[in-house]
Amino acid sequence: MIYRLIYGDGMDDRDIHLRVKVISKNGVKVPDSNVHLLVEPESKHMRIADIKIEGNRVNRGYGSIMMEGLMKLVHEMQIRFITGWISAVDWDHIDRLEHFYRKHGFDCQLDHENKYGTITWVNEQLGATREELERLIARDGHINA
């Protein structure tokens, strides 16, 4: 089950938390896998701040389940771009991360020497372009502004 945390603080469409709750015949599994998203409504830009999948859930489809939920939000909110970054703490599984993001239509730019990467996705169904995303990044100063 995918669910979204709602706080009612006026920031629910800017600071978004999606969770995956796993319920089995043995009860509810904890902790929930989750994704934290930051949205700039004016530019229709969503940033993936964090995706957290732990323990025996790694590499078992939970990330793809969360990406399905994320893409439903993208459609509902008419998001034009998604960006994010990959930090050095994730570098021990960079091959798996790169495969995951590319599988879901993202471009990945990886700097193996400095253990840093960026991900971008452009909603071409809405007519968004890479050039438009590049202008947005140039205006804000970096990919996660």
pLDDT at 1: 83
pLDDT at 61: 78
Q: How confident is the model at residue 144 (pLDDT cuts 50, 70, 90)?
A: low
Place of tokens 């970054």: 85
Let me know how many helices (H) and strands (E) the chain has, helices first. 3, 7
The mean pLDDT value for 52-58 works out to 74
pLDDT at 32: 76
Tens of pLDDT, residue by residue over 60-105, are 778 888 899 999 999 999 999 999 999 999 899 999 999 999 999 9
Domains of the chain: 2-140 (3.40.630.30)
